Chains A and B, each alone.
Chain A
Amino acid sequence: MALLPWKRAAEIGGPQTATFEDLALPLLPSLYNVAMWLARNSADAEDLVQETFLKALRGFSGFEPGTNFKAWIFRILRNTYLTSRSGLAAMRTVALEEELEEHAVPESAIERQTPELNLMRLSDKASLEAAMEKLSAPLLEVILLCDVEEMKYREIASVLDVPLGTVMSRIARGRAALRGMLAANAPGEREARS
């Protein structure tokens, strides 16, 4: 009996015969985590992950063996998210952000705006989670891919289909935004404002 396409070896002739399942299932927790951050509710996140798996499975014959499967499937996840109802709004945000980035925000605005964070603030996980929730999707996804998924800049550029410089710029802006929000929520700042 012929192997079903999705059972076909990913690396033909290679020593390892990785199937789609072998490659994709270990990434399920990571994909779900990112999907939850983007979709913000479990039902949509599950749908997003399932749709991603099915699209990846159907397109697996087009996946080039030996290339980066993780970047490939995250790209499908992101494209799937972007073409969803909620993702369409995010896509418009991406365009807007890029425009602002290129024309309105001077480079100095993201350089060294550091109010130096202390260890106490960084150890406040709840504050950091709250700050991440407030990040716009284009900045959040790049932070997640970089810090949580530990992807290299060039991998992130491939997932997002943007130039390397845009990845670096979004990382800088994302972290600057997090710092700003953490500083604003710091106890000293809150007391000073009240």
Chain B
Amino acid sequence: MSEHLGATMLNALADGELSAEELARVNEHLAACPQCTTSALEASLLKGATARAGQRYAPPADLRERMVRRMAQEAAIAQSWSRQNGAAQEEPENAAAQVEPRRWGFGSWGLAAAALLLVYASIFLLPHRGGRDLVAAADYSALVTEVSDQHIAMLAANAPPEVISTDRHTVKPWFQGRIPFSFNLPQNLPEDTTLDGANLTYLRNQPTAQLLYSIGKHRVSVFVREQAAGTADDAMSPADYQGFHVMGFRAGGLEAVAVSDVEEARLADLVARIKTAQAK
């Protein structure tokens, strides 16, 4: 090898990434080339210095303990879930694994912590009615987080919907064969509200229709899936998550959850019309 060593070769040498054959050729060149030997030495020194400088931050002393506790709580959620849903229900961690990777919410821990407290309490209260309510509340908190994450991911991706149409008669049939249920879309939408299209997605491992609306310049996701067995028809209490409003309903075998940063009343209007459409 007579040519000088390139940056890639010098890096590979410093990183121990050369094959035996390459290493032999490089060594042969280095033996005869002081300039490349200096560069190789410098590359090695830079790597060592970067390794030392890069090892800069140590975790807080209690982080490990908190992580262990947090994992135990997560296991408690899984346990309470399986108690609630029995063997027929998919394990929640499998469902969670399917939605990974989702967006990471810096502010989600308060909500998660509240949910966990509720679940913890529920374990001791089961099988009393109050315990079930608490589990349902925790489950709803998790749902709020998940739908918000999906909505934000949709906004961030800025990709066109899988079915692009403002026509409800195009969007609804698109789901035939894609989801094991059917739903109605409202004919009359509130003022300044348009249907943009829809995506097929998954919530808790269940196929879900993500309907995309715009209210003015605000984007709205409405997630529609089958109502879980044993849940009563009711309106879901509105929640806020990182500046987004979340609300929905369970009725007629369907569960719909809407997410948007539009003002709450306008979102509620759209949700009410979607609910009314199901009764037809």
A28, A113, A147 — most chain B CB neighbours (10 Å): A147
B124 at the A interface (CB under 8 A): no
Number of A-B contacts (CB under 8 A): 177
A47 at the B interface (CB under 8 A): yes
Provide the residues of chain B in CB contact with A179, threshold 8 Å.
46
Provide the residues of chain A in CB contact with B74, threshold 8 Å.
6, 54, 57-58
Are A50 and B109 in touch, CB under 8 angstroms? Answer: yes
Interchain CA distance A45-B78 in the complex, whole Å? 26
Binary contact readout A133-159 vs B (1 if CB under 8 angstroms, 0 otherwise): 000000000011011101011000000
Are B104 and A128 in touch, CB under 8 angstroms? Answer: no
Are A54 and B70 in touch, CB under 8 angstroms? Answer: yes
* Among listed B54-62, B166-174, B209-217, B263-271, interface-contacting one: B54-62
Are A28 and B59 in touch, CB under 8 angstroms? Answer: yes
Are B45 and A122 in touch, CB under 8 angstroms? Answer: yes
Are B39 and A116 in touch, CB under 8 angstroms? Answer: yes
Provide the residues of chain A in CB contact with B102, threshold 8 Å.
83
B4 at the A interface (CB under 8 A): yes
* Among listed B10-18, B179-187, B228-236, B252-260, interface-contacting one: B10-18
Are B59 and A116 in touch, CB under 8 angstroms? Answer: no
Binary contact readout B87-115 vs A (1 if CB under 8 angstroms, 0 otherwise): 00001111011001111111011000000
Provide the residues of chain B in CB contact with A171, threshold 8 Å.
11, 15
Are B50 and A148 in touch, CB under 8 angstroms? Answer: yes
Binary contact readout A19-46 vs B (1 if CB under 8 angstroms, 0 otherwise): 0110001001100110011000011111
Are A146 and B70 in touch, CB under 8 angstroms? Answer: no
* Chain A residues bordering chain B, tally (CB within 8 A): 71
Interchain CA distance A42-B17 in the complex, whole Å? 34
A194 CB to closest chain B CB (Å) equals 26
Are A122 and B46 in touch, CB under 8 angstroms? Answer: yes
The answer to whether residues A32 and B79 also contact, given A25-B64, A25-B68, A114-B42 and a CB cut-off of 8 A, is no
* Chain B residues bordering chain A, tally (CB within 8 A): 55
B70 and chain A: residue at smallest CB distance: A50
User: Among the listed B43, B46, B94, which residue makes an inter-chain contact with A61, where contact means beta carbons less than 8 Å apart?
Assistant: B94
B63 at the A interface (CB under 8 A): yes
Are B71 and A148 in touch, CB under 8 angstroms? Answer: no
Provide the residues of chain A in CB contact with B97, threshold 8 Å.
58-59, 61-62
Provide the residues of chain B in CB contact with A168, threshold 8 Å.
8, 11-12
- Residue pairs across A and B with Cβ atoms less than 8 A apart, 22 shown, are A5-B78, A5-B91, A5-B93, A6-B71, A6-B75, A7-B75, A33-B59, A45-B57, A46-B59, A47-B104, A50-B70, A50-B109, A57-B71, A61-B93, A84-B106, A122-B45, A123-B49, A132-B50, A132-B53, A132-B54, A168-B12, A175-B46
Report the 7 A-B pairs with minimum CB-CB distance, sorted nearest first. A58-B96, A148-B54, A36-B57, A59-B97, A83-B103, A79-B101, A32-B59
